[in-house]
Amino acid sequence: MIPSCRLVGRRAGRYAPTMRVLLVEDDGDVRGAVRTALRSVGFAVDEAANWSQADLSLSVNDYDCLVLDRMLPEGDSAAELARRRRDGLTVPTIMLTALDDIDDRVSGLTAGADDYLGKPFSTDELVLRVRALCRRRTTIIAPILSVGDVVLDVARHEVRRGGVLQTLTPKEFAVLELLLARRPAVVTRGELFEHCWDERADPSSNVVDVVVNQLRRKLGEPPVIFTSRGAGYRAGSAAP
């Protein structure tokens, strides 16, 4: 067991929709545990071990939530976060820390943190808190999305076709959720990649097409995902 974070299962995390998170933590064990917990339920997670790396990621990517260790190699993150808030950083932030008395919580929240979680912590609780913060950055998604006889339950993280439960990977669920949420609009490959993958993925690869083809095979006939040549994909009950 790692010294400052305990894994207690994933039951609570199963409700999280797919969103993009930046995890800033210099302890490799804690970073690995948090990364695993978030990715296992479909979050796209980028990582940084210090503020220099975090600033680079924040400058090029749009995040739904920042998971921030309070004590980093540069010192107390509260002062660093406060400075970046003054410079315009608006990403909802949860601060992780072993400094957990009332004064520490007050100073962290005053510095600009939106939530504060003391170590050791349950990864189930962290996933739920991250999900709540991510909602501040995203358009509200209907709890039930459907096309034809395909029904996606956002809260239960389930997909059924004709009442039969489908077994989807987190990426397949994420892609289908975005396509259904945007229907009848076409979603570009770039948008799918941006929303459903993180920095580990190669944007020049065909991962989006591979996952869409897997989805099509699993969902079967009649098709509910259609290709818009040269543009991307759309969900619908019939080809346009």
What does the alpha-carbon distance between residue 41 and residue 45 come to, in Å, rounded to a whole number?
11
Structure tokens that stand for 78 in this block: 């509260």
What does the alpha-carbon distance between residue 229 and residue 240 come to, in Å, rounded to a whole number?
12
Residue ending a domain, choose from 118, 137, 156:
137
What is the number of structural domains in the chain?
2
* Neighbour-count burial for 26-64, b at 16+ CB within 10 Å, e otherwise: ebeebbebbbebbeebbbbbbbbbebeebeebbeeeebb
Q: Are residues 161 and 110 in the same domain?
A: no
Q: 224 falls in which pLDDT band (50, 70, 90)?
A: very high
Q: Which of 57-61, 112-116, 173-177 has the lowest mean pLDDT?
A: 57-61
Q: Are residues 186 and 122 in the same domain?
A: no
Q: pTM of the prediction? A: 0.56
In a domain, 67, yes or no: yes
Sign of the C-alpha dihedral computed for residues 28, 102, 108 and 16 taken in this order? positive
Q: 9 falls in which pLDDT band (50, 70, 90)?
A: very low
Greater model confidence, 233 or 97: 233
Whether residue 230 is predicted with pLDDT greater than 90 in this model: the reply is no
Whether residue 17 is predicted with pLDDT greater than 50 in this model: the reply is no
Q: Are residues 22 and 132 in the same domain?
A: yes
Question: pLDDT, tens digit, for every residue of 126-169?
Answer: 998 998 888 766 544 557 888 889 999 877 788 999 999 999 98
Q: What is the CATH number of the domain that holds 150?
A: 1.10.10.10
Helix, strand or coil, per DSSP, at residue 23: strand
pLDDT of residue 163: 93
Q: 32 falls in which pLDDT band (50, 70, 90)?
A: very high
What does the alpha-carbon distance between residue 125 and residue 8 come to, in Å, rounded to a whole number?
9
In a domain, 240, yes or no: no
Q: Are residues 124 and 198 in the same domain?
A: no
Unique residue bearing structure tokens 């991510």: 134
In a domain, 46, yes or no: yes
Residue ending a domain, choose from 114, 137, 160:
137
Q: Are residues 74 and 159 in the same domain?
A: no
Q: What is the CATH number of the domain that holds 67?
A: 3.40.50.2300
In a domain, 187, yes or no: yes
Q: Are residues 77 and 121 in the same domain?
A: yes
Q: Are residues 132 and 150 in the same domain?
A: no
Q: Are residues 88 and 187 in the same domain?
A: no
Q: Residue 221: which domain range?
A: 144-235
Structure tokens that stand for 5 in this block: 């974070």
Residue ending a domain, choose from 72, 107, 137:
137
